[in-house]
Amino acid sequence: VSDAFSVPVCTQCGHALWPSRPVCPRCGGTLFEPRAAGRGVVEETTRAGAVALASVRVDTGPVVIARLAADAAAGTAVELRWRVAADGRRRLIAVPPA
Ligand SMILES: [Zn+2]
C-alpha cells in the first residue's frame, strides 16, 4: 500500500513547510493546504544500521528525510510516497522514478 506525498503550503505567502508546523515561520499564517510533493532530488545519503536514508529536496522547496527503496547517489531524481509497513506505521520512501 502506498500513498502520494504532499507538504502543507501556507495559503498566505506560499511557503512550503516540512515538517509541518501550526504556524508559518515566514509570515505567521495559520492556514495551509496540501500540495503534491511527489518528486525531488537526492541531496545526501546516510545509513542508520541496515536502513538507507536520503535527504531529498522536493520540487516545492523543503528538504525531507526518506528511506531509500533502492541505491541512489546524490543528484538522483526520486519519487516520494508513503508506504504502510507491516507494523501499520507510515514511512516516507524514496524510489527511482518509474
Ligand atoms: Zn506564510
The predicted structure's pLDDT at residue 52? 94
* Span 27-50, average pLDDT: 94
Task: Choose among 58, 22, 28: nearest CA to 43.
Answer: 58
Q: How far is the CA of 26 from the centre of ligand 1 (A)?
A: 5
- Residue 90 Cα to ligand 1 middle (Å): 27
**In this predicted structure, what is the pLDDT of residue 42?**
97
Q: What is the pTM of this model?
A: 0.85
Residues with CB under 5 A from ligand 1 (ion): 10, 12-13, 15, 24, 26-27, 29
pLDDT in tens, 43-77: 999 998 989 999 999 998 899 999 999 888 999 99
Taking the centre of ligand 1 as the mean of its atom positions, its distance from the CA of residue 15, in whole angstroms, is: 5
Does the pLDDT at position 1 exceed 90?
A: no
